[in-house]
Amino acid sequence: MFPIKDHNPSSRFPLVTILIILITSFVFYLQLTSSDPQAFIFSFALVPSKVDFGIPATLWPFIWSMFLHGGWLHIVSNLWFLWIFGDNIEAYLGHIAFLLFYLATGIIASLIQYFFMIGSDIPTLGASGAIAGVLGAYLVLYPRHKIDTLIISFGGFLHKIKMPASIMLGYWFVIQLFSGVGSLAAMEGGGVAWWAHIGGFASGYLLIQAAKIGRPAAYAMFP
């Protein structure tokens, strides 16, 4: 399933969402134009074997890594998801709180992935964990809002259908969970950071639940 658009107009201009997209795109440009892209990645990505919680300087990649990407498909798909779902979460939380939420879910996602890869020399990078946090928050706040989604039929044809966010995002999470469990036997082989997706989604789900405390239910549904 691939989302095309949501039927949930934002009540605020998504300033922080746009800034994150621009900064992430600029970092990707720097990565591509670097004289040594691989060295660039290893300098800023999260490499578990380099992490030492007793040395604060080695912890910065938990933030830097979420602005790096492994290729065009990686960055375009991530930023597309952020563009579709991020504006509503930003409108709900406000600009500064949304930025803190995005960074927090990204860091938590990287931490969870790290604990499955302690000692590994494989770099972990991408905004997927933070964006998964946005998806988890969207599921809490707007489960009934419709999402235009592309699906592949059994004949291999693409179809656009409209479905509730609860189905689209619930299906997405189940796929991540099954893939994460299936990846445990081959974690050293690299590939998709499934546990970052799972951790980001779960942290976003829980953090937005805390943010809802004290707010009227109607506001939580339609900010």
Closest of 182, 83, 78 to residue 125, by C-alpha: 78
- Judged on CB neighbours under 10 Å (0-12, 13-18, 19+), 164 is middle
- Work out the average pLDDT over 91-111: 96
Percentage helix, strand, coil for the chain under 3-state DSSP, each rounded to 5: 65, 10, 25
- Work out the average pLDDT over 158-186: 85
Specify the pLDDT at position 221.
38
CA distance 195 to 180: 6
**Strand ranges in 56-183 using DSSP code E only, listed in sequence order:** 146-152, 158-164
Specify the pLDDT at position 219.
44
Q: At what angle do helices 15-33 and 95-115 cross, to 10 degrees?
A: 50
**Strand ranges in the chain using DSSP code E only, listed in sequence order:** 2-6, 146-152, 158-164
pTM: 0.90
Specify the pLDDT at position 215.
66
User: Residue length, the chain?
Assistant: 223
Structural domains of the chain, with CATH: 2-221 (1.20.1540.10)
